[in-house]
Amino acid sequence: MNVTVIGTGYVGLVTGVVFADLGNDVICVDKDDSKVERLSRGEPTIYEPGLEEMLARNLNDGRLAFTSDLDSAVQKSDVIFIAVGTPPKEDGETDLSQVQAAAEGIARAMDRYKVVVNKSTVPVGTGNFVRDIITRNQRRKVDFDVVSNPEFLREGSAIQDTLAPDRIVIGAPSQAVALTLLELYAPLEHPMLITDVESAEMIKYASNAFLATKISFINAVANLCEKVGADVVQVAKGMGYDKRIGAAFLQAGLGFGGSCFPKDTLSLIHTARKFDEDNELLRAVVRINDQRVPRFCRRIEERLGALDGRVIGLLGLAFKPNTDDLREAKSLEITRCLLERGARVQAHDPVAMDGAKALIPELELTDNAYDAADGADALVIVTEWNEYKLLNLERLKSLLTQPVVFDGRNIYSPERMRQLGFEYYAIGRGTIK
């Protein structure tokens, strides 16, 4: 099948590369010529395990191309995916300006029947919004259909999530239109749910808001665990064995970040408000999440006292492991908090250091985790990269000026930290001294 994907961010690039790997002829479109040039050379513009190899293979086999020429791409394709950014506005409303621009471009180039697919995360009603834009801007009056096909990718495992999804949701105006997407996804042999367009749009937001709710719930439980002497890791494990609850997204920590959960939860709140439904539950979810970093920073300040002149080692900058994404990363919030109080922050991350330095020039970068700890008054763990879980803790202790660790992701055993002589401040697990 001939496919065009508009947008080469996380969703667009992974979608385009995987569809090409399934044997389709795919053209990925981006208005940024420098990105197009890099991708055409086989250089990924994001860090994602497995992406570079798949990108090179499909470029070499001639199934994948990159261009800034939207008109040509649209005219060569049968199915056109819109996978552009949908950032939040200040009030939480989703900014659909990039979706609008893509729809206008499709309309101007459309020369025959096309299936236009909203892959971007968009609020309910965007299918009609895109249909209206295309209808108004068509130069030639040809038939088309608009489908919703939300993505459920996790950064760091996006390739695998695309190849082996829990479900494929197709929101289409008719069964006949849905068959086009069914054919495209058929090689994956995974469950497909066909719905109306509005339900598909809602499934995406409801899913992410529910997962965000699980995270905020366990973090609220963690706060109480710290007061009563319980261990939130054991509490979450006991909860997770219940099949009705499940263990996923019950890890207490610094809260949710990244490109999806924060903005999608805010967008659903905005949509509810728009239709006179006051979603008090989701507002509490956001409020609890917003309190995570300030609470963590207060614990650091309570232990170390005035932070002016203190040196803090920080491990992990990306918002989660196996990605270089810094959107809504807790590391940035923590770093700014520490710098504002006069501390020096020397940090390490396997892949996200350059991006963090561009956002916070005062940040001091180190070659490895041990250098980040060297001469520091405390070590702060923000991202649970596997390599940090496997550090030589005795060596780490010898490098710190005092054996104080603030673990925002609960990656170490409190008992082992006690045996090694650390002061260990974890989330929802009390304090080990």
Instruction: Give the active site residues.
Output: 260
d(CA 323, CA 158): 10
DSSP state of 145: E
What's the rounded Cα separation, in Å, for the pair 39 and 54? 12
Alpha-carbon distances, residue 54 vs 14, 45, 429 (angstroms): 9, 14, 42
Q: Which two tokens stand for residue 84?
A: 């552009």
| Strands of 378-381's sheet in order across | 364-365, 344-348, 311-315, 378-381, 404-407, 423-425, 431-432
Contact partners, residue 183, CB within 8 Å, separation at least 6: 1
| C-alpha–C-alpha distance, residues 137 and 104, integer Å | 6
Beta-carbon neighbour count of residue 234 at 10 Å? 12
Note whether 89 and 21 are within 8 A (CB): no
Are 165 and 203 spatial neighbours (Cβ–Cβ below 8 Å)?
no
Find the angle CA(45)-CA(50)-CA(56) to the nearest 5 degrees: 65
Give the E-state strand segments of 58-118 in sequence order. Answer: 64-67, 79-82, 114-118
Q: How many CA atoms lie within 13 A of 356 on its CB side?
A: 33
Whole-angstrom distance, CA of residue 356 vs CA of residue 373? 18
Q: Which of 419, 425, 424 is nearest to 394 (CA)?
A: 419
Nearest to 22, CA basis, from 45, 41, 47, 3: 3
Picking from 267, 314, 324, 301, the residue whose alpha carbon sits closest to that of residue 150 is 267
- Which amino acid appears at position 421 of this protein? G
Show Cβ contacts of residue 299 under 8 Å, excluding neighbours closer than 6 positions.
Answer: 406, 425
Rounded distance between C-alpha atoms, residue 13 and residue 35, angstroms: 11
Contact criterion met (CB below 8 Å) for 44 and 52:
yes
